[in-house]
Amino acid sequence: MATVLDKNPAGESASFYDEFVALRRDIHRHPELGFEEVRTSDIVAAKLTEWGYAVTRGLGGTGVVGQLVHGNGGKVLGLRADMDALPIQEQGQAEWRSDTPGVMHACGHDGHTVMLLAAAKRLAEDPGFSGTLNLIFQPAEEVGTAGAGAARMIADGLFETFPCDAVFAMHNAPTVPAGMLLFREGPMLASSDAVNVVLKGRGGHGAMPHTAVDPVVGAASLIMALHTIVSRNVDPLRTGVITVGVVRAGDARNVIPDSARLEITVRALDPAVRDLLHERICRVVADQASSFGLEAEVDYDRGYPPVVNSVAETRFASQVAADVFGAGRVMTDCPAQTGGEDFAFMLEKKPGCYLLIGNGAAGTPHACMVHNPHYDFNDAVIPTGAEYWVQLARRYLAQ
């Protein structure tokens, strides 16, 4: 049985994975923001075409889908990898650090792309299945709104053009031992909504507050009221998060401003809790504003829904991992997290599973958290991720 970090879990030649390490570093050196992944999608499309996949481009703007049909099996599997980078100035000193000022692969999407490409080549050379495999290379996961890459691909007809019986995606996990595979049935990641609130009053002199309608005092009261919603309206055994991250009002200490602005993030693991928070936030804003004689404008952007893994597909996926790498390298009860992911849109349409692969245990060089200027994907997990995708595809399409 292969161990998780065998350099070549399937006995491939060293040059096979060396090729993909070099490719990962090339993509890392040339990061592209969401919906701008032109060079990256060119590379993906060229590789898939070279290996015999039928390639479709343009879904979601810069998305790429490679389809491989083998045998006469009727099942269809979708595997997804994200391709975009982040607007962060890289501070690491690796030879392959970003050449693009202010942009870097700080979330490992370069690694996700390459793990799926390595699996694509393996499966093209030796499919070992009977059915249809759709490899989905998605743009703009990091956009953070309902118009992100997954939703755009779906709106452009992804699942009408490429029907899938199930879809799977993998994300690297810093602080987790390299190559360990983590699964969770049900809610895995939270919804992610953005709320902007503007409280409008009437400005005045700081020495004569009675002549003004002060939005700053109203904003202060509103912040405290918002932070009671989770503790008093949400079941303590369920998860909700409301965070006021930005407060803007005024330019001078002796001037009461006309308005105050709050920028808020809202997260929930349960769609019902998400809806409850939406309703309560809007109600609390309206009531608080009214009590201070203010007008309120609320812009509530419902972004990513929760990532909810279907039970059957998650159990299947975790069993594949245990069979290939051993049960000691698999966690089937991974704690839910309050981060967000737009793969949730795909899981709203199709059953499937979003899983994690360890990038490096705490205290190791690759434990650096994502969205950090010092982060880098751990090339040592490429063989593990690729082998996992190969075995998942073969077993799913053999059912």
- Could you report the per-residue pLDDT of 287-297, keeping only the tens digit for each? 999 999 999 99
- How far is 312 from 319, CA to CA, in rounded Å? 11
Angle of helix 38-50 relative to helix 14-29, nearest 10 degrees?
160
Domain that holds residue 131: 14-190+306-396
Query: Is 282 within any annotated ligand binding site?
Result: no
Confidence of residue 14 (pLDDT cuts 50, 70, 90): low
Residue 6 has pLDDT above 70, yes or no: no
Query: Does one domain contain both 131 and 269?
Result: no
Q: What percent of the chain has pLDDT over 90?
A: 94
Q: Please indicate if the annotation marks 112 as binding a ligand.
A: no
Find out whether 171 is annotated in a ligand binding site.
Answer: yes
Task: Check residue 9 and give its pLDDT.
Answer: 61
pLDDT at 237 over 60: yes
Query: Residue 253: inside a domain, yes or no?
Result: yes
Of 250, 280, 304, the one marking the end of a domain is: 304
Q: Is 377 inside a domain boundary?
A: yes
Tell me the mean pLDDT in the region 36-47: 99
Residue 280: which CATH number?
3.30.70.360
Report the run of H or E that residue 318 belongs to, with start and end: helix 311-325
In a domain, 7, yes or no: no
Last residue of a domain, one of 304, 335, 355: 304
**pLDDT at position 145:** 81
Of 240, 274, 304, which one is at a domain's C-terminal end? Answer: 304
Question: Is 107 labelled a binding residue?
Answer: yes
| Residue 28 marked in a binding site | no
Domain count, the chain: 2
The answer on 310 and 287 residing in a single domain is no
Which tens digits make up the pLDDT trace of 166-219?
999 999 999 999 999 999 999 999 999 999 999 999 999 999 999 999 999 999
Same domain, 213 and 259: yes
User: What's 148's domain CATH number?
Assistant: 3.40.630.10
CB 94 within 8 A of CB 67: no
The mean pLDDT of 222-230, rounded to a whole number, is: 98
Among 150, 191, 188, 148, residue whose Cα is nearest residue 278: 191
- Taking residues 108-116, what's their average pLDDT? 99
Whether residue 367 sits in one domain with residue 298: no
The pTM of this model reads 0.93
Query: Are 219 and 183 in a shared domain?
Result: no
Q: Name which residue leads in pLDDT, 146 or 386.
A: 386
Torsions phi, psi of 167, nearest 5?
-130, 145
Say if CB 344 and CB 308 are below 8 A apart.
yes
**362, HSE (Cβ side, Cα atoms, 13 Å):** 0
**Beta strand pairing status for 259-268 and 192-200?**
antiparallel
pLDDT in tens, 53-105: 999 999 999 999 999 999 999 999 999 999 999 999 999 999 999 999 999 99
pLDDT bin (cut points 50, 70, 90) of residue 399 is confident
Angle between helices 271-291 and 215-226 (to 10 degrees): 150
Rounded CA-CA distance 104/376 in Å is 10
The H helix count followed by the E strand count for the chain is 11, 16
Question: Would you state the pLDDT for residue 2?
Answer: 41
